[in-house]
Amino acid sequence: MQILVLYFSKSGNTKKLAQAIANGVDSVEGASAVLRNTEEVTKDDFLNASGVIAGSPVYFGLMAAELKKVFDDFISLRKKMEGKVGAAFATSGDPTGGKETTMFSIIQVMMIYGMVIVGDPMSATGHYGTACVKEPDEKAMENGAKLGIRVAETAFKLNS
Ligand SMILES: Cc1cc2nc3c(=O)[nH]c(=O)nc-3n(C[C@H](O)[C@H](O)[C@H](O)COP(=O)(O)O)c2cc1C
């Protein structure tokens, strides 16, 4: 079972968090992460995935245009994504810079794609996804892995 970990990253912070999330997915037996940036991702990556975990730097409190463009360009897949698991992650520059609104901008699109949204588990923060300020530290990387595990385990449950 594949889980797509999709990200945009200009200076590497969001990419590093994406890698931690992908490692979490890979730690679940039978699950494998497909790690793609917004330039690499294909429609087949969406279609072959049982879940999508998408992340972005905070740009003015919202996802970056590069990530939004993927969802815009792949609109024809919308109904085929119904029932798959969706989750979000973000990195910001400022502590109050808009991490939650950015994750919600991603979650909003995923809901309109018909996806089943999960936040991060109680063993992480029990909130809207994984987020951190600037480069993820050890704790953020750990929480990211837990988000990956949760999405993979939820996808297994939904597919059983
Ligand atoms: C165009 C632009 C807009 C940004 N807007 C915000 C913002 O609203 N709030 C914030 O905290 N950081 C903002 N930042 C900072 C980035 O979110 C932050 O540096 C992020 O970790 C960069 O991720 P990356 O290394 O994956 O590119 C902005 C950066 C850019 C380039």
Q: From CA 19, how far away is CA 82, in angstroms rounded? A: 25
Whether residue 136 has its Cβ less than 6 Å from ligand 1: no
pLDDT at 40 over 90: yes
pLDDT band at 157 (very low <50, low <70, confident <90, very high): very high
Give the angle subtended at the CA of 66 by the CAs of 85 and 90, to the nearest 5°.
Answer: 55
* pLDDT at residue number 23: 98
How far away, in angstroms, is 126 Cα from ligand 1 center?
A: 24
Atom of ligand 1 nearest to the CA of 96: 11
- Examine the pLDDT at 160 and tell me if it is beyond 90: no
Give the list of residues 6+ apart from residue 122 with CB closer than 8 angstroms, or none.
Answer: none
Cα-based angle 20, 5, 117 (whole degrees, multiple of 5): 105
Q: Which of 78, 80, 9, 82 is nearest to 40 (CA)?
A: 9
- pLDDT tens column, 60-73: 999 999 999 999 99
pLDDT of residue 61: 98
83: Cβ below 6 Å to ligand 1?
no
Q: Which pLDDT band holds residue 113 (cuts at 50, 70, 90)?
A: very high
Domain that holds residue 115: 2-159
Domain count, the chain: 1
Q: From residue 22, how far is each of 9, 35, 49, 137 by CA, in Å?
A: 15, 7, 13, 16
- pLDDT at 47 (0 to 100): 98
CATH of the domain at 129: 3.40.50.360
Q: Model confidence over 82-96: pLDDT tens digits?
A: 999 999 999 999 999
pLDDT for position 149: 98
